Amino acid sequence: MSADPQAAVVSTAGTAPPEGGPTAAVTSTKRRAPSLLVLNIATIFLGLGLWWLISLTGLQIPSPVEVLLAGIDLAASGILLTDIVASLTRVLTGFLLGTALAIPVGFLMGWYGWARGLLEPWVQFFRTVPPLAIIPLAIVLMGIGEQPKIFVIFLAAFLSCVISTFQGVVQVDRTLINAARVLGAKDGTIFARVVVPASTPFILVGMRVGLGSAWATVVAAELIAAQQGLGYRMQQAQIYYDLPTIFVGILVIGLFGLVMDRVLLAIESKLTVWQERR
């Protein structure tokens, strides 16, 4: 039996993968990376080509060139940058606040039975209520400033991440926890060296879902009460039947969401190198 419980826990948790295990899976993933990149680039061009063909059929859909020109006009006037900064600030503020609270709450619910009993009914209750349904109430209570928009984004991100964190804790292999206890590790050591690493993939999945919810929520909030933002600009374009501007807003939101999602994926790959992948 090891004299150092922390070292024993790390060994038990399998941080040194066996031959042909996670290391081989990571190597296989790296080998597939170039082909995946080629497929990603190919599908982008195929999508643009399909979009261009549809615009030629007579449907009231602007062509990629028209959307590009509208985006250039908006960027040259400074409107696009102002809207991006406004929406991005709201999304990042609400998302970071929601995630920062969701992770400790999820850990509490998963690790302590009393916390689960007190908090889970409320979390499940509000999870079934769409954050968009909270927008009218938030506006009435908080006004039409930034607070209600950030609050509903915070709520959307929190509810997505807290459930994933909770599931990550309760699904930790009990064998690892029991082995750590047999080796003399205290609860704090078990939590830090076994539970947190095992829950990390679940947390990051919840963050990715929460990020998508944050973008969807901010656009809806800006449609109701805003003077700046991508959602507000799309609403104004809809009034004047300005389809290219609407498409610019959709593309910008999609691009920012994609880039932010890829950032989270990169963080996940760094933090979960021990995890076997297909």
Residue 60's Cβ-count burial label (10 Å; 0-12, 13-18, 19+) is: exposed
> Which domain does 96 fall in, by range?
5-271
Report yes or no on 80 lying in a domain: yes
> What's the pLDDT at 1?
43
Report yes or no on 276 lying in a domain: no
| Rounded distance between C-alpha atoms, residue 138 and residue 91, angstroms | 16
Query: What is Dmax (Cα atoms) for the chain?
Result: 76
Report yes or no on 278 lying in a domain: no
Mean pLDDT of the region 12-32: 48
Mean pLDDT of the region 66-91: 93
Look at residue 174 and tell me whether its pLDDT is greater than 90: no
Report yes or no on 179 lying in a domain: yes
Look at residue 273 and tell me whether its pLDDT is greater than 80: no
Exposure string over 152-188, b if 16+ CB within 10 A, otherwise e: bbbbbbbbbbbbbbbbbbeebeeebbebbbebebeee
Q: How many domains does the chain have?
A: 1
Helix/strand/coil percentages in the chain, nearest 5: 80, 0, 20
What single string gives the DSSP state of each residue in 1-61?
Answer: --S-HHHHHHHHHT-SPPTTSHHHHHHHHHHHHHHHHHHHHHHHHHHHHHHHHHHTTT-S-
| Rounded distance between C-alpha atoms, residue 58 and residue 87, angstroms | 33
Look at residue 37 and tell me whether its pLDDT is greater than 90: no
Report yes or no on 27 lying in a domain: yes
Look at residue 16 and tell me whether its pLDDT is greater than 50: no
Global pTM reads 0.77
| Rounded distance between C-alpha atoms, residue 256 and residue 137, angstroms | 28
> What's the pLDDT at 266?
86
| Rounded distance between C-alpha atoms, residue 221 and residue 223, angstroms | 5
Look at residue 28 and tell me whether its pLDDT is greater than 70: no
Report yes or no on 277 lying in a domain: no
- Domain containing residue 241: CATH number: 1.10.3720.10
Question: In the structure encoding, which two tokens stand for residue 227, read together?
Answer: 């003077």
